[in-house]
A and B are shown apart, each in its own frame.
Chain A
Amino acid sequence: MSEPLVLGIETSCDETGVALVRGRELLFDAVASSMDEHARFGGIIPEIASRAHLEAMVPTIRRALAEADVDLAEVDAVAVTAGPGLQGPLTIGASAAKALSVALGKPLYGVNHVIGHAAVDELVHGAFPERAMALVVSGGHSSLLLVDDIATSVTELGSTLDDAAGEAFDKVGRLLGLPYPGGPHIDRLAREGDPTAIRFPRALTLPKDQAEHAYDFSFSGLKTAVARWVEARRDAGEEIPLHDVAASFAAAVADVLTAKTIRACELHGVDTLVVGGGFSANSQLRDMAAERCAEAGITLRIPPIRYCTDNGAMIAALGSALVRADVAPSSLDIPVDSSMPLTLTHV
């Protein structure tokens, strides 16, 4: 039998993503974003995101099929994000996927968004080795996953206990008076600053933390440290050295993420690291990961940025892996789960 053709639908936040994947080959990835509409309201409103997904769904599916030059009838399976994410948007995607599954008489796979962020790299850099580590970092997630088989054996080694890495960037951006989202602005400022100017804390890295939180992250205390450092300068009427604050803060985040991840690779005998999720666009993280992986003899795989942000290809990639592994499809009455745990690759 030829490789399965899977249609993937992603609607966990504000991107409507639809992609077609055959085996590990991406045929086309179509994305529509409602970010512009949210910008008019100064923030994301879930109800607006839901409505935007509803309006974009059919045109985005049509566009993906046309660009991939496949007929809907050729699709072997439909994969969709079942969680985690925003409840309303997830429901729109799941409803579309279920309707397609019923209409086509083809199996449905409700999959985990976070694991999809790792799976998408198979479309870019080929099949994973027997054992790989995946660091998934975004505005909503910071998780370290041991991947023995992307379809059937993914173990969550650790996650953030409070703020996600990208979220800490956005919050620090806000306290520095940068426009939303603050992440890219801090990245830009940090490139011209001194990362050693201010020694911000590295949470959960002390020997006493290793028993319980060796692979967990915490960025809330770092965010508080930056807030208090800035407050003290403002109270004293001093100017805030934005470049140095940004560089020192970004260095602290990249340091903790890479140090814990490389240690996990070494302790689990893993020589391949996959980094995914929107925050992997961060240049301080990319630079430090490249440097430390090279030192440790670890192969670093980071997909291009458009596959790190939310997209349909990541969901189709994971769906394809599930089909190839002969995993039983999801039932048509699966619920969406805004806090879907990483113990579930699919539901």
Chain B
Amino acid sequence: MTATTTTTFDLPDAAATRAWGTALAGLLRAGDLVVLTGDLGAGKTTLTQGIGAGLDVRGQVASPTFVIARVHPPLHDGPALVHVDAYRLGSLDDVDALDLDTSLEDSVTIVEWGEGLVEGLADDRLEVTLARPRGDFDENDDASAGVRHVRVRAVGERWSGVVLPRPHVG
């Protein structure tokens, strides 16, 4: 049976989500897989932007939904960021179907909407689930604002004993 550890915490706003992503990037190395789950607007792309900043890769990390996958090459030494959106993929048995020029062994791979699709890609992975506030908001408020409840499930030997970053407070 594969070892798993589950951690939960809150991120108070988008800046905190981005900052936690940047901190997480400090732990990520080539070959790592991160699967992001959450409703529309939960903060999956925001978190990936933070990871991209931490990895110091080229280009604006934006939603890859339309292009399915975007490769951000490293600006300096370090792995590339492969940002995948499985939203429109019916299945993903084999990452070769994405036809990427970069191998997963050389990259950090982040898959949005990948739950139930990509677990077979790697025995070791981080499964991050983001939940945003539900329902109506005040007209003068920013609908994107509000606390995100985060659950991280660390699966496999790779993550055994690894201490995940704590959310930055303040």
> Measuring CB to CB, which residues of chain A are less than 8 angstroms from any residue of chain B?
13, 41-47, 50, 84-89, 91, 138-140, 159-164, 166-167, 170-171, 175, 180, 199, 201, 220-225, 227-229, 231-232, 235, 335-336, 338-339, 341
- Choice from A43, A221, A224, A231 contacting B89 with Cβ under 8 Å: A43
User: How extensive is the interface on chain B, given as a class?
Assistant: 35 or more
B144, A220: Cβ atoms under 8 Å?
Answer: yes
* Nearest B-chain residue to A175, judged by Cβ: B40
A227 in contact with B41 given A160-B62, A199-B139, A339-B59 (CB within 8 Å): yes
* Nearest B-chain residue to A278, judged by Cβ: B66
A201, B142: Cβ atoms under 8 Å?
Answer: yes
B65, A228: Cβ atoms under 8 Å?
Answer: no
> A127 to B129, alpha carbons, bound, how many Å?
51
A84 in contact with B67 given A231-B134, A339-B72 (CB within 8 Å): yes
> Measuring CB to CB, which residues of chain B are less than 8 angstroms from any residue of chain A?
39-41, 45-46, 58-60, 62-63, 65-72, 87-90, 96-101, 132-137, 139, 142-144
A45 in contact with B90 given A220-B144, A228-B143 (CB within 8 Å): yes
A220 in contact with B136 given A41-B90, A47-B99, A228-B41 (CB within 8 Å): no
B97, A224: Cβ atoms under 8 Å?
Answer: no
A44, B68: Cβ atoms under 8 Å?
Answer: yes
A162, B62: Cβ atoms under 8 Å?
Answer: yes
B99, A163: Cβ atoms under 8 Å?
Answer: no
> A231 to B41, alpha carbons, bound, how many Å?
12
- Choice from B58, B60, B133 contacting A228 with Cβ under 8 Å: B133
A43, B69: Cβ atoms under 8 Å?
Answer: no
Which residues of A have CB within 8 Å of B67?
Answer: 13, 84-86, 140, 338
A46, B143: Cβ atoms under 8 Å?
Answer: no
A161 in contact with B133 given A47-B97, A199-B139, A338-B71 (CB within 8 Å): no
* Central interface residue in B58, B63, B139, by most chain A CB within 10 Å: B63
A47, B71: Cβ atoms under 8 Å?
Answer: no
A43, B90: Cβ atoms under 8 Å?
Answer: yes
> A89 to B89, alpha carbons, bound, how many Å?
16
11 interchain pairs, CB-CB under 8 A: A87-B71, A87-B100, A91-B101, A159-B62, A164-B62, A167-B63, A171-B65, A220-B144, A222-B143, A227-B40, A341-B59
A339, B71: Cβ atoms under 8 Å?
Answer: yes
* Central interface residue in B97, B139, B144, by most chain A CB within 10 Å: B144
Given contacts A201-B143, A341-B58, 17 further A-B contacts (CB under 8 A): A13-B67, A46-B97, A87-B98, A159-B60, A161-B60, A161-B62, A162-B45, A164-B66, A171-B65, A201-B142, A220-B46, A221-B41, A225-B137, A228-B133, A336-B101, A339-B58, A339-B72
Top 6 A-B residue pairs of the complex, sorted by shortest distance between their CB atoms: A224-B41, A88-B99, A225-B143, A232-B136, A43-B88, A140-B66
B63, A220: Cβ atoms under 8 Å?
Answer: yes
A220, B45: Cβ atoms under 8 Å?
Answer: yes
